[in-house]
Amino acid sequence: MKERRILVCIKPVPDPEHYDKIGIDPASKTLVRSGIPAVINPNDKNAIEAALEIREYWGGIVELVSMAPPDAEEKLREGLAMGADKAYLLSDRSFAGSDTLATARVLAAGIAKIGSFDLVITGSESADGGTTNVSPQLGEMLGLPHVCNVESITPQNEEQWQLNVKIEEGYLKVEGPTPMVVGVNDKINTPRYTTVMGIMEAEDKEVVIWSAADLEIDNDKVGLTGSPTQPGDLHEPKLQRAGKLLEGEPEVVVDKLIRLLRQAGVLNA
């Protein structure tokens, strides 16, 4: 059986458990996110898990790729502690401010340098920006077939894979050859816990760090200047309401509720 080489793209994001604490500084109009720890984008952990399961079944190696600031090495180590074999961190000041298209270009340049592989797996969606663009755009940059929202991956034979794709109406059954780029959803698996042995082993695994100079990349097409989309103002959605409390014994509250439902025109009786 042919051993597989699987690349997994991951991204550090502020922990979604703490999004309630994120806000906008009224004076500077910039994002306030201090004290919120970074985690591996939760959906990307599904991607790592999917890769590890394929490795366990078919044999092979799993390597992580991330475009992020230098301190992301720690998050890559977490992925290595989960069980990945090696990691590549693409890190350069000039990458800052990249939108999804520019990010896909950087990842594609890193993957091109890594060499041949059977599969690139990504999460479908990032928790912070909420976009689903990078996975298909990476496929385009690599000139490979790509599919996202994948809920199961079944190898048919050495080169042919079948994928179950979740759509709003149900599922699409998609089939195609490797290499390809697959974006998995958060239902495909439950990411494993990191064991203490995994943490010990991760210490000795390699994290390769590449800057823009190490990659074949057009500097005008990455970072904020190379991004077609540009961020504008930030707002906080207006969510606060009057919060008037309906007080009294249950019977009194029921009467008040009945009045409100009538007032809203949803109770005609």
List the one residue from 55, 166, 184, 223 that touches another protein (CB under 8 A). Answer: 166
Closest Cα to residue 99, out of 254, 229, 263, 251? 229
**Contact range with another protein by CB under 8 A, out of 60-68, 83-91, 210-218, 249-257:** 249-257
List the one residue from 58, 152, 155, 174 that touches another protein (CB under 8 A). Answer: 174
Does residue 103 touch another protein according to CB under 8 A?
A: no
The nearest distance, CB 116 to another protein, in angstroms, is 17
Dihedral Cα 50, 54, 57, 59, nearest 10 deg = -140
Residues in the chain: 269
Residue that the structure tokens 């195609």 belong to: 176
Residue that the structure tokens 């064991």 belong to: 195
Query: Which residues 72-91 are close enough to bind another protein by CB under 8 A?
Result: 74, 77-78, 81
Nearer to another protein, 199 or 208 (CB): 199
Does residue 35 touch another protein according to CB under 8 A?
A: no
Query: Cα–Cα distances in Å, from 217 out to 107, 109, 208, 213, 228?
Result: 10, 6, 18, 8, 17
Q: What is the 8-class DSSP label of residue 213? A: G
Report the chain's C-alpha Rg in angstroms. 23
Does residue 27 touch another protein according to CB under 8 A?
A: no
The answer, yes or no, to whether the previous bond of 179 is cis (omega within 30 of 0) is yes
The DSSP annotation for 177-190 comes to ESSEEEEE-TTS--
Number of shown-chain residues binding another protein (CB under 8 A): 95
Structure tokens at 176: 């195609």
Nearer to another protein, 205 or 214 (CB): 205
Query: Which residues 133-162 are close enough to bind another protein by CB under 8 A?
Result: 133-137, 139-141, 145-149
Sequence letter at residue 120: V
List the one residue from 165, 184, 188, 222 that touches another protein (CB under 8 A). Answer: 165
Does residue 211 touch another protein according to CB under 8 A?
A: no
Does residue 251 touch another protein according to CB under 8 A?
A: yes
Strands 31-32 and 23-24, by their bridges, are: antiparallel
The nearest distance, CB 63 to another protein, in angstroms, is 19
The nearest distance, CB 254 to another protein, in angstroms, is 4
Does residue 269 touch another protein according to CB under 8 A?
A: yes
Nearer to another protein, 91 or 135 (CB): 135
